Amino acid sequence: MNRLFEENPFGAPDPDFRPPLAGPPAPRRKPRRGPSRSVLLMGAFVGGFLLLGGRMAMVAWPEDGTAQASPAATGSAGGGSSVLAQAAARDELLPRLRADLQDRSGRILATSLPIYDIYADRARILDPAETATRLAEVARTDPVALQQRLTQAPRGTITIMRSATPAQLQQIHDMGLPGIYGAGRLTRFYPEGRLAAHVLGGVNAEQRGVGGVELGLDAYIRDPAQVDKPIPLSIDVRVQAGLESALREARARFAAYGAAGVIMDARTGEIIAMASIPDFDPNHRPSPLALKPNEDSALDPLFDRAAQGSYEMGSVFKIFTAAAALESGMVDLSTILDARNPIYRAGHRITDYRGPNRMVTLTEGVMFSSNLALGRLATMIGHEHMSEFLRKLGFYERVPLQYPTASLAMPQTPRNWGPLELITVGYGHGISVSPLHVVAAAATLVNGGCRVRATLVRLEAPPPCERVVDPEVSVAARGLMRLVVQYTTGRNAEVKGYEMGGKTGTALKAIKGGYSQRERIANFLTIFPAHDPKYVAIVSLDDPKVIEGKERNLSPTAGRTAAPAMKDVIERIAPLLGLAPDVAGEWKAEQIVGARFGGLKYRP
């Protein structure tokens, strides 16, 4: 600036001269090279889209040959914790809450079927009158009342019909009425009807078991992880049907109050069939009867006489007394017992009903079912041996069945073993157990001595043998039971060719204050084939009477009532169990029993 003033203080202004505004002179703008801002921006977008597209292609490209659907398609949003989400994950329309139950061959015993609740959204109904009229046809209700509900109820949803079938839902859907919806759910269905009613039990409205296996295995059936796998029970539907129809006919033939039967595999303990008549339809399970305290609980059809009822089994028990005696080592099959003189104990007099009335061997005592002989035998061995043997056979605890505990009979054994208790238990009147107890104990006794635990679930392999009874005692018991069927009270039960062994038992029913004078429980226990039993069965008739035939009005002993009923049962079911009759191959009792215990000794 100083220089400029010195050269020409008042000269002509320079045309290129611009007075400086402020600061240093502005730098010359350089020529631009490289991409412009718009190009950069576009490049950024291209990069972004390529990145996005590339990533999408990577995700959508099939890996390992399988297409990966997005999470939205499978519907398991949010971890899949809701029931609907689980149902959707299992490819099901409606959430399944209970697993199917099948019989041992895969036939369906209990399954789930869709059912719909029809409801209306009041806000969306256009014409309540027409809606009510048309819906009332399907719902089978009063159209006027329905119209009133549709118009006057507070806003919200109104249930029009519960438990509509899919066909009814389709009918309502085809009407095209706005505001009417159906909510689906699965309900429990028992296709076999009344068959195995007590075994299956039933469910309530919330799909929870209320009896039988449905309640006993409820936690397992409702387990969401197992709900797709059907549970095989040990029941065989054909054998169950044969047993039930035979029991119904026997109940009618002998005018009995009720009947019960159990058929069990002697080695594994699987219950092939278990029935209690009268029964019910588990599809419409009745509510329990309100009984007065002194009324018989067996009036209720829900009462399971086979597993729940507790009765004194009578002479059927004599086989266990004899086995206990042989197991103790104190007696032989030829031990002589007094069956002539009555027993007087603790103010009671015990006699035989048409007994042998002489000195008998142990064999004959069981054959002729002598109370005196077996009572004295029990006294000979003492209560320690007796109670220990009964404990080993499972008579001191509930049968470990897949049933609710409240439905299983608790055996009533003597609290204090006095001399009278020992005698009465010896001939079968001092201990109250269920028919299922007797069958399980008989299976334990005759299968070689392996402890049998009753099960309603099919076993894939036989359980390991837990030896509780000497195998030779088991063989002796088989021979004794074969004798009863060959010669004495079991003759009416014999089906030729199946080598049946058995034992009858008639017990007076215990009512309040003592025993009834007339009412009886008639039982027949059978094993077949006797030399190597595969099956054990029992039939129990509640208060039978002989009303037909030449034995009419005679005393209804088990040999006249339960034994023919058992014959009927075996004729129906033995071919279904895969057994063909082999008349010439039947073993006699002497061929079954070996030389141990001296061999069977009886007067034929």
Residues in region 323-362 near another protein by CB under 8 A: none
Nearest to 247 by CA among 201, 305, 302, 289: 305
Strands 231-232 and 101-102: parallel
Binding part of the chain for another protein, among 121-129, 139-147, 429-437, 532-540 by CB under 8 A, reads 532-540
Which position among 111, 334, 351, 357 is part of the footprint of another protein (CB under 8 A)? 111
In the range 49-78, which residues lie near another protein by CB under 8 A? 49-50, 52-53, 56-57, 60, 67, 69-70, 72-74
CB of 35 to another protein, least distance (A): 6
What is the tally of helices (H) and strands (E) in the chain? 19, 18
CB of 43 to another protein, least distance (A): 5
Whether residue 108 contacts residue 102, with contact meaning beta carbons closer than 8 Å, is answered with yes
Token readout for 466 is: 């837990």
Q: Which of residues 223 and 228 has its CB atom nearest to another protein in the complex?
A: 228
Q: Which of residues 37 and 512 has its CB atom nearest to another protein in the complex?
A: 37
Scanning 180-317, the segments in alpha helix (DSSP H) are 197-200, 212-216, 218-221, 237-253
Q: Does 85 bind another protein (CB under 8 A)?
A: no
CB of 582 to another protein, least distance (A): 5
Which position among 2, 26, 28, 38 is part of the footprint of another protein (CB under 8 A)? 38
Whole-number Cα distances in Å, 25 to 9, 18, 20? 22, 10, 7
Q: Which of residues 239 and 436 has its CB atom nearest to another protein in the complex?
A: 239
Rounded distance, CA 424 to CA 376, Å? 10
Q: Does 83 bind another protein (CB under 8 A)?
A: no
Q: Which of residues 423 and 493 has its CB atom nearest to another protein in the complex?
A: 493
**427 Cβ contact partners less than 8 Å away, ≥ 6 residues apart:** 315, 317, 318, 321, 350, 371, 374, 375, 378
Whether residue 361 contacts residue 335, with contact meaning beta carbons closer than 8 Å, is answered with yes
Q: Which of residues 16 and 174 has its CB atom nearest to another protein in the complex?
A: 174
Q: Which of residues 126 and 583 has its CB atom nearest to another protein in the complex?
A: 583
Q: Which of residues 27 and 578 has its CB atom nearest to another protein in the complex?
A: 578
Q: Does 467 bind another protein (CB under 8 A)?
A: yes
Q: Does 192 bind another protein (CB under 8 A)?
A: yes
Q: Does 588 bind another protein (CB under 8 A)?
A: yes
Rg of the chain's alpha carbons, rounded to an integer? 41
Which position among 122, 149, 173, 194 is part of the footprint of another protein (CB under 8 A)? 194
Binding part of the chain for another protein, among 2-10, 203-211, 216-224, 467-475 by CB under 8 A, reads 467-475
Q: Which of residues 388 and 590 has its CB atom nearest to another protein in the complex?
A: 590
In the range 399-458, which residues lie near another protein by CB under 8 A? 447-450
In the range 492-531, which residues lie near another protein by CB under 8 A? 495-498, 531
Rounded distance, CA 355 to CA 373, Å? 10
Q: Which of residues 178 and 585 has its CB atom nearest to another protein in the complex?
A: 585
Which position among 4, 39, 144, 153 is part of the footprint of another protein (CB under 8 A)? 39
Which position among 256, 408, 475, 480 is part of the footprint of another protein (CB under 8 A)? 475
Q: Does 101 bind another protein (CB under 8 A)?
A: no
At residue 327's C-alpha, the angle toward residues 323 and 331, to 5°, is: 85
In the range 557-586, which residues lie near another protein by CB under 8 A? 571-572, 574-585
In the range 269-328, which residues lie near another protein by CB under 8 A? 270
Q: Which of residues 367 and 378 has its CB atom nearest to another protein in the complex?
A: 367
In the range 156-185, which residues lie near another protein by CB under 8 A? 166
Q: Does 92 bind another protein (CB under 8 A)?
A: yes
Rounded distance, CA 442 to CA 419, Å? 25
**222-241 footprint of another protein as x/- string (CB under 8 A):** ---------------xx--x
Q: Which of residues 71 and 288 has its CB atom nearest to another protein in the complex?
A: 71
Identify residue 105 by its one-letter amino acid code: S
Nearest to 331 by CA among 380, 274, 398: 380
Whether residue 140 contacts residue 172, with contact meaning beta carbons closer than 8 Å, is answered with no
Q: Which of residues 108 and 420 has its CB atom nearest to another protein in the complex?
A: 108
Q: Which of residues 505 and 564 has its CB atom nearest to another protein in the complex?
A: 564
Q: Which helix (H) or strand (E) holds 138?
A: helix 128-139
CB of 342 to another protein, least distance (A): 30
**379 Cβ contact partners less than 8 Å away, ≥ 6 residues apart:** 419, 422, 423, 426
Which position among 156, 286, 471, 549 is part of the footprint of another protein (CB under 8 A)? 471
In the range 250-269, which residues lie near another protein by CB under 8 A? 265, 267-268
Rounded distance, CA 598 to CA 299, Å? 48
Strand partners, 362: none
**193 Cβ contact partners less than 8 Å away, ≥ 6 residues apart:** 281, 283
Which position among 20, 35, 178, 329 is part of the footprint of another protein (CB under 8 A)? 35
Q: Which of residues 114 and 143 has its CB atom nearest to another protein in the complex?
A: 114
Nearest to 303 by CA among 282, 313, 285, 288: 288
Whole-number Cα distances in Å, 27 to 15, 20, 30? 19, 13, 9
Nearest to 199 by CA among 171, 160, 239: 239
Rounded distance, CA 316 to CA 427, Å? 8
Q: Which of residues 35 and 549 has its CB atom nearest to another protein in the complex?
A: 35
CB of 186 to another protein, least distance (A): 9
How many residues bind to another protein according to rule CB under 8 A?
87
Identify residue 83 by its one-letter amino acid code: V
CB of 149 to another protein, least distance (A): 31
CB of 497 to another protein, least distance (A): 6
Q: Does 129 bind another protein (CB under 8 A)?
A: no
Q: What is the C-alpha end-to-end distance of the chain, expressed in Å?
A: 157
Strand partners, 467: 450
Identify residue 407 by its one-letter amino acid code: S
Q: Indicate the SS3 state at residue 486.
A: helix
